[in-house]
């Protein structure tokens, strides 16, 4: 055991590896030996089996064929048929003569039996030549038959002996196999016991060293997690690689412990400084020092950050205000584009009517029916149309006029004014808009901004209905009185918003259209207007076959 403690792990593992190689070598040798012995046994069994099969194929089966042909010879109806049968009979006899010659030295009695049977066949052929068919028949059924059975029985006895020899050879091989199996099992048991004893001593020594190192590291980690105040030194009785490793660990743990204490002092100092910053006091700085390069850099960074914090805060506030102004300006530009498009739809029909009045006046003049009364009538019609167009511009100007102070306004009227702006465009594209007014409510806030929110949602609904080419496009606006809020619900049948983007549609610059078709700030500004300026809520969800926007504004 002491020798094992003094040797290194590489040598210990080498011993285990040698035992493994020796075990494999013994098993390989025994396996090869068994394979060779089985090969010889199989050769013997195969040889005996071949003797049995050869006797059957070469002699016994042809003998039965010969017996059958000799009987056919006696029973043939005419001489021509007997000639053909006799030819086959002679061929078979010649073949059997060659086979029985192989037994001329080993089994003279068997050869003599064959000669006797062959002579009896010759007697049968002789009787038939002398046309003594009764003698031929008696010979075949008596003497020849008895001699045939005597010959076949002798051959079957020989076949049985060969088969018994094969069985004996097989049984002998089985016994040898059992003996070798016992020998292999005994060898394996001896090697296994030896390996277990040696392996137990080696592994227990290694495991004990690992356990001691593991416990030391666990104590160190507990110290890092503030569960222990001090780390004990790791001690080992061995002189192997674990001993060298524990020496290095102890040195590093001591260094880390010193660094941690310095780091903790710096962190406490930093915490105190940050608390001062939180209280508005920017006069304190970090003063502690540590060996940690990153913490020293952090210390310098925090001190520099404190020096420039006020300037940075002012710069960030200025940038935020600039971004907000940019968003507002982009929203105004987008609204202006929408406004110009809607004015075009509002003016399209009056312009066409004015053009028709001019054409009518020219035709009347050409037919010499132009009178003062006719001229006055047409001028009144044209003035009425231009007055409508002028009123349209005034309505648009009032809608988009900046509103400085809050006022009390009707939810229904604000929604209808927003609808008026896009009414012609919606009708032009065949989009049906319906109002479901449960109860009108007056609220206090920014009327024009509220109408702008309704307009943004209607414009988005129009765009998606056209983009998806919805048949029978519809938008429903429902106004009702809630317990604490005035509620407006806008529902379209455009198929709804994709689930993967529904949570992003109120984000700034988020749009599903091309850059030239939208800025992605309409819904973002709408959310700011409702939730920041009017203490309300706006949300969207998919219902039935479309999207449902809900706008809630606190009542007076």
Instruction: Give tens-digit pLDDT for 313-365.
Output: 667 667 765 665 565 555 555 556 666 665 665 566 667 667 777 877 877 87
For residue 16, give every residue at least 6 positions away whose Cβ sits within 8 Å of its Cβ, in sequence order, or none: 195, 198, 199, 202
Are the C-beta atoms of 549 and 540 separated by less than 8 Å?
Answer: yes
Please report the pLDDT score of residue 415 as a whole number: 93
Are the C-beta atoms of 553 and 443 separated by less than 8 Å?
Answer: yes
pLDDT band, very low/low/confident/very high, at 494 (cuts 50, 70, 90):
very high
Residue 148, pLDDT above cutoff 50: yes
The three-state secondary structure class of 7 is: coil
Instruction: Delimit the domains of the chain by residue range.
Output: 34-178, 328-554
Is the four-CA dihedral 79, 84, 85, 87 of positive or negative sign? positive
Structure tokens at 331: 């929203």
52 or 117, higher pLDDT: 117
Domain 34-178 class, CATH top level? mainly alpha
DSSP assignment of 476-503 equals EEEEEE-SSEEEEEEEE-S----TTTTT
pTM over 0.85: no
Report the chain's mean pLDDT, rounded to a whole number.
76
Are the C-beta atoms of 121 and 93 separated by less than 8 Å?
Answer: yes
pLDDT band, very low/low/confident/very high, at 62 (cuts 50, 70, 90):
confident
Please report the pLDDT score of residue 410 as a whole number: 92
Are the C-beta atoms of 12 and 206 separated by less than 8 Å?
Answer: yes
C-alpha distances out from residue 416 to 104, 388, 436, Å: 130, 18, 12
The three-state secondary structure class of 57 is: helix
What is the average pLDDT across 466-472?
A: 91
Query: 3-class secondary structure for 118-134?
Result: HHHHHHHHHHHHCCCHH
Distance CA 122, CA 115 (A): 10
Residue 399, pLDDT above cutoff 60: no
What is the average pLDDT across 100-119?
A: 83
Question: What is the length of the chain?
Answer: 556
What is the average pLDDT across 182-196?
A: 77
What is the average pLDDT across 163-185?
A: 73
Please report the pLDDT score of residue 549 as a whole number: 95
- DSSP-derived pairing of the beta strands 474-481 and 432-437: parallel
- Cα angle 167-46-173, degrees, rounded to a multiple of 5: 50
Which range of 332-336, 436-440, 519-523 scores highest in mean pLDDT? It is: 436-440
What is the average pLDDT across 172-183?
A: 73
C-alpha distances out from residue 113 to 55, 143, 498, 546, Å: 16, 13, 104, 109
* Continuous segment of H or E residues that includes residue 506: none
Which range of 155-159, 212-216, 284-288, 477-481 scores highest in mean pLDDT? It is: 477-481
Residue 224, pLDDT above cutoff 60: yes
Distance CA 318, CA 312 (A): 10
Please report the pLDDT score of residue 288 as a whole number: 66
Quick one: what percent of the chain has pLDDT higher than 90?
A: 12
Distance CA 92, CA 89 (A): 5
pLDDT band, very low/low/confident/very high, at 386 (cuts 50, 70, 90):
confident
The three-state secondary structure class of 480 is: strand
110 or 279, higher pLDDT: 110
Sequence-ordered alpha helix ranges (H) in 401-429: 411-428
The closest alpha carbon to 473, from 464, 481, 484, 465, belongs to 465
Distance CA 282, CA 268 (A): 17
469 or 522, higher pLDDT: 469
- Reduced DSSP (H G I as helix, E B as strand, rest coil) percent helix, strand, coil of the chain, to 5: 70, 10, 20
CATH annotation of 328-554: 3.30.565.10
For residue 529, give every residue at least 6 positions away whose Cβ sits within 8 Å of its Cβ, in sequence order, or none: 446, 449, 450, 452, 453
Structure tokens at 312: 């940075």
Please report the pLDDT score of residue 329 as a whole number: 56
pLDDT band, very low/low/confident/very high, at 247 (cuts 50, 70, 90):
confident
DSSP assigned state of 150: H
Are the C-beta atoms of 382 and 361 separated by less than 8 Å?
Answer: no
Residue 127, pLDDT above cutoff 50: yes
pLDDT band, very low/low/confident/very high, at 487 (cuts 50, 70, 90):
very high
Are the C-beta atoms of 356 and 377 separated by less than 8 Å?
Answer: no
Distance CA 338, CA 158 (A): 116
C-alpha distances out from residue 540 to 67, 84, 451, 486, 537, Å: 106, 108, 18, 16, 10
């Amino acid at each position: 055991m002491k020798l094992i403690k003094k040797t290194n792990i590489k040598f210990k593992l080498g011993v285990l590896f040698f035992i493994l190689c020796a075990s494999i070598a013994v098993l390989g040798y025994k396996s090869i030996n068994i394979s060779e012995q089985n090969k010889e046994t199989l050769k013997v069994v195969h040889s005996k089996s071949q003797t049995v099969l050869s006797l059957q194929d070469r002699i016994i089966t042809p003998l039965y064929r010969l017996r059958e042909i000799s009987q056919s010879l006696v029973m043939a109806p005419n001489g021509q048929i007997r000639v053909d049968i006799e030819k086959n009979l002679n061929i078979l006899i010649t073949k059997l003569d060659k086979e029985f010659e192989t037994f001329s030295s080993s089994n003279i009695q068997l050869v003599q039996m064959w000669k006797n049977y062959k002579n009896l066949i010759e007697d049968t052929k002789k009787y038939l030549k002398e046309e003594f068919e009764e003698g031929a028949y008696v010979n075949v059924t008596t003497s020849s038959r008895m001699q045939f059975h005597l010959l076949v029985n002798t051959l079957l006895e020989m076949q049985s002996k060969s088969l018994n020899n094969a069985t004996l050879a097989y049984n002998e091989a089985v016994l040898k196999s059992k003996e070798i199996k016992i020998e292999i099992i005994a060898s394996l048991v001896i090697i296994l016991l030896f390996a277990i004893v040696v392996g137990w001593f080696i592994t227990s020594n290694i495991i004990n060293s690992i356990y001691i190192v593991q416990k030391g590291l666990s104590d160190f980690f507990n110290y890092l997690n503030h569960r222990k105040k001090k780390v004990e030194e790791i001690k080992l009785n061995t002189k192997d690689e674990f001993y060298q490793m524990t020496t290095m660990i102890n040195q590093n743990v001591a260094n880390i412990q010193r660094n941690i204490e310095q780091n903790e002092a710096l962190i406490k100092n930093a915490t105190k400084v940050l608390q001062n910053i939180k209280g508005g006091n920017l006069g304190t700085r970090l003063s502690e020092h540590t060996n940690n390069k990153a913490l020293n850099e952090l210390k310098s960074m925090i001190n520099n950050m404190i020096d420039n914090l006020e300037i940075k805060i002012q710069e960030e506030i200025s940038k935020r205000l600039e971004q907000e102004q940019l968003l507002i300006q982009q929203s105004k530009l987008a609204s202006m584009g929408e406004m110009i498009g809607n004015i075009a739809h509002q003016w399209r029909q009056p312009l066409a009517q004015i053009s028709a009045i001019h054409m009518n006046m020219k035709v009347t003049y050409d037919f010499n029916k132009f009178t003062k009364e006719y001229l006055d009538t047409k001028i009144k019609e044209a003035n009425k149309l231009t007055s409508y167009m002028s009123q349209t511009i005034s309505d648009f100007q009032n809608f988009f006029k900046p509103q400085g102070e809050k006022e009390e306004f009707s939810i229904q009227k604000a929604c209808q004014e927003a609808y008026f702006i896009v009414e012609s465009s919606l009708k032009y594209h065949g989009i049906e808009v319906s109002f479901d007014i449960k109860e009108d409510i007056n609220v206090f806030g920014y009327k024009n901004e509220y109408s702008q929110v309704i307009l943004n949602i209607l414009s988005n609904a129009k765009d998606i209905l056209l983009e998806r080419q919805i048949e029978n496009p519809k938008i429903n606006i429902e106004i009702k009185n809630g317990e604490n809020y005035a509620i407006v619900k806008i529902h379209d049948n455009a198929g709804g918003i994709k689930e993967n983007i529904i949570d992003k549609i109120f984000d700034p610059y988020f749009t599903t259209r091309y850059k030239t078709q939208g800025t992605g700030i309409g819904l973002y500004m709408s959310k700011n207007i409702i939730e920041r300026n009017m203490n309300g809520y706006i949300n969207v969800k998919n219902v039935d076959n479309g999207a449902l926007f809900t706008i809630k504004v606190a009542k007076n």
